[in-house]
Amino acid sequence: MKLGNLLVAGLGVLAAACGASSITAPGTTALTAITPDANAVGVDVGGQVVLTFSGPMMTSMDSMIALHDGDLSGAEVPGHFMWSGGGDSLFFMPDSALMAGHHYTVHVGGGMLDAAGDTVNFRFAHDSLGCTWATGQMMGGGMMGGRGEMGRGWQGSNGNYGMTWGFHTTS
């Protein structure tokens, strides 16, 4: 066996042993890191929300992310987005400091697409990052108070409404 083939085979075994198959399936992009962490306490009121994906994303996908004041029924926090140079990390900066001692919820829509046009895999975000699956009840007027994020893209082609996670700012 050639050294290159041996190296590739070894990486495949290592990836399987580390559970990489739960991160992403071949041909898909996964949400692999979030800041702040799910259920984080003491988050800086001047901080930003960062999402990191395993590959480049369509840059229009920032329209499928919202930071809510409180839970999903709360108003969206105004701010602006910026993609990393490689398109695999998205930064959200609120227009003004977040409220101290307050709860916020991030929602990432299920219709997010990577640069190749494939739906994002959220399994790793659920299994390893502490994110919660968004549900139709949350989206259809239950938690969203009737104003909902049911517009195009919030529900993926696979029926998934995406992920949510919350955090608390420092007092």
Q: CA gyration radius for the chain?
A: 17
Contacts of 171 (CB under 8 A, 6+ apart): 100, 101
Does residue 12 form part of some domain? Answer: no
Three-state SS string over 17-83 comes to HCCHHHCCCCCCCEEEEEECCCCEEEECCCCCEEEEECCCECHHHHHHEEEEECCCCCCECCEEEEE
Name the domain count of the chain: 1
Mean pLDDT of 95-122: 94
Question: Would you state the pLDDT for residue 21?
Answer: 38
Does residue 101 form part of some domain? Answer: yes
Asked whether the beta carbons of 102 and 77 are under 8 A apart, the reply is no
In tens, the pLDDT along 43-59 reads 999 999 999 999 999 99
Does residue 5 form part of some domain? Answer: no
Does residue 9 form part of some domain? Answer: no
Does residue 20 form part of some domain? Answer: no
Does residue 128 form part of some domain? Answer: yes
> pLDDT-based confidence at 161, cuts 50/70/90?
confident
Give the span between the Cα atoms of 113 and 133, in whole angstroms. Answer: 17
Structural domain that includes position 159:
25-169
Instruction: Check: pTM over 0.85? Answer yes or no.
Output: no
Give the span between the Cα atoms of 38 and 15, in whole angstroms. Answer: 25
Phi, psi of 133, deg, nearest 5: -65, 130
CATH code, 151: 2.60.40.1220
Give the span between the Cα atoms of 59 and 48, in whole angstroms. Answer: 18
Does residue 17 form part of some domain? Answer: no
Does residue 81 form part of some domain? Answer: yes
